[in-house]
Amino acid sequence: MAAAVCVLARTRNLFSAIVLSGIYSFLMATVLVAMDAVDVAMTEASVGAGISTVLLLGALYLCRSEQSKPLRQVWLPLALSVAVGAVLMYGTLGLPEFSDAHAPIHTHVVPRYLKEMPKEVGMPNVVTAVLASYRGYDTLGETTVVFTAGAGVVALLRRKRRQRDAPDAAKGAAR
């Protein structure tokens, strides 16, 4: 995945950048399966590698630009990114180790979910049960966000291309 990202950062052709992002999403889904996150892997594979790639290709077609310009000065952003990365790595040293059973993440609410699940909800898939029942408000908010994004795209891209008269053009350009 690191290799895919490095090539993506350096490539100038936008189409190959989009294909590489699809490859990166699939690799991420594989890593997620290795982490036992099967629901998340399925969502990442379908949404990240599927819908994202379709939308990016659609936008690329609409923008009609194939090559991006070469970057003149790369040292300042690179130094800044490396500095941020160093600070973050120093920060993660305080976090629990990989597969540490005593980490706080495993001790507060999750044992209750796992124990009470068969009694209260009675369905094997814990993730769906937590998503829809224990954390139902979050899912309601997320559905609303998705709907709002759709409404926003409709508002932005409403068809007014061909016979556009001057007042509409002014309104569209001044947005």
Partner 1 sequence: MKADLILRVMAKLLIPFIVLFALYVQFHGDFGPGGGFQAGVILAAAVIFYALIFGLADARRVVPESLVEALMAVGVLIYAGVGVAGLLLGGNFLDYFVLDPDPVHGQHRGIFWVEVGVAVTVSGVMLKIFYMFADRGGLEE
Partner 2 sequence: MNAVGSHMSLGGHFTYFVTVFLMIAGLFIVIARGNLIKKLIGLGIFQTSVYLLYIVPGKLVGGTAPIISPAYTEYTNPLPHVLILTAIVVGVATLALGLALVVRIREAYDTVEEDDILLLDARPGRPAKASSLR
C-beta closer to partner 1: residue 95 or 140: 140
* 9 belongs to the binding site for partner 2 (CB under 8 A): yes
Comparing CA positions, the residue from 52, 54, 56, 55 lying closest to residue 44 is 52
**From residue 68 to residue 107, what is the string marking binding to partner 2 with x (rule CB under 8 A)?**
xx-x--x--xx-xxx-xx--xx--xxxxxxxxxxxx-xx-
Question: Are 28 and 44 a contacting pair, CB within 8 Å?
Answer: yes
Report the nearest approach of partner 1 to the CB of residue 30 (Å): 14
Number of C-beta neighbours around residue 78 at 10 A: 10
Number of C-beta neighbours around residue 7 at 10 A: 14
Which residues inside 136-155 make contact with partner 2, applying CB under 8 A? Answer: 138-139, 142, 145-146, 148-150, 152-153
Report the nearest approach of partner 1 to the CB of residue 167 (Å): 20
Report the nearest approach of partner 2 to the CB of residue 149 (Å): 3
Comparing CA positions, the residue from 17, 60, 24, 16 lying closest to residue 45 is 24
DSSP helix/strand/coil, 76? helix
C-beta closer to partner 1: residue 27 or 135: 135
DSSP helix/strand/coil, 15? helix
Residue 140: which of partner 1, partner 2, none does it interact with, CB under 5 to 8 A by kind? partner 1
Q: Which residue has the tokens 């908010």?
A: 141
- Find the binder of partner 2 among 16, 55, 116, 120 (CB under 8 A): 55
Report the nearest approach of partner 2 to the CB of residue 67 (Å): 9
Question: Are 21 and 53 a contacting pair, CB within 8 Å?
Answer: yes
Q: How many residues bind partner 2 (CB under 8 A)?
A: 96
